[in-house]
């Protein structure tokens, strides 16, 4: 099963074509931290992270991980934990996963720059939620309704192809 991102507005999987948005500065083969570009390539996907206090019913074959207030994603290029899930620590630059807005109520990490992790090549590249379809900092965003459809179709072996 492959999720295809062919252009800046469409996510295609099986017979479904879903509206999406991508990085503000388009796609790149040479991703850098903070460039607001979505990395090109074929990648595996991670587990599903979700806000248990906001979404309690969904169907998926992915491993489900409830988001806690202490969870963050390291985007500190000087840290050994760069581009990994971390416990929030004021000494490590990170992106909060337990947000006031809705964008990370459901998200799936794209396994970009993970094995091995190369410093400054980009971090926290996710499939997450959007309402406005405004450009992202490098992630792929879809509506909650479409995300719930996607969850029913994909499995742990699903790949995402961004080109």
The pLDDT tens digits of the residues spanning 46-76 come to 999 999 999 989 999 999 999 999 999 999 9
Q: Which fold has domain 2-162?
A: L,D-transpeptidase catalytic domain-like (2.40.440)
The pLDDT of residue 38 is: 98
- Each domain of the chain, given as residue ranges in start order, spans 2-162
Q: Are 66 and 54 in contact (CB under 8 A)?
A: no
Q: Give every CB contact of residue 58 below 8 A, 6+ residues apart in sequence.
A: 50, 106, 148, 151
Confidence of residue 7 (pLDDT cuts 50, 70, 90): confident
Question: Taking the mean position of all CA atoms in its chain, how far away is CA 136?
Answer: 11
Q: Are 92 and 5 in contact (CB under 8 A)?
A: no
The pLDDT tens digits of the residues spanning 98-142 come to 999 999 999 999 999 999 999 999 999 999 999 999 999 999 999
- Residue 110, classified by CB atoms within 10 Å of its CB into exposed (0-12), middle (13-18) or buried (19+), is buried
19, β-bridge pairs: 10
């Amino acid at each position: 099963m492959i999720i295809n991102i062919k252009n800046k507005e469409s996510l295609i999987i099986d017979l479904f074509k879903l509206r999406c948005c991508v990085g503000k500065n388009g796609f790149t083969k040479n991703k850098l931290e903070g460039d607001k570009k979505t990395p090109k390539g074929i990648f595996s996907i991670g587990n599903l992270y979700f806000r248990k206090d906001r979404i309690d019913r969904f169907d998926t074959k992915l491993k489900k991980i409830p988001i806690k207030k202490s969870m963050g994603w390291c985007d500190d290029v000087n840290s050994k934990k760069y581009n990994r899930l971390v416990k929030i620590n004021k000494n490590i630059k990170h992106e909060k996963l337990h947000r006031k807005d809705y964008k990370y109520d459901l998200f799936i990490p794209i396994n970009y720059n993970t094995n091995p992790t190369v410093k400054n090549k980009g971090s926290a590249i996710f499939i997450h939620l959007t309402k406005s379809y405004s450009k992202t900092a490098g992630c792929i965003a879809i509506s909650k309704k479409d995300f719930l459809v996607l969850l029913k179709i994909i499995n742990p072996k699903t790949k995402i192809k961004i080109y």
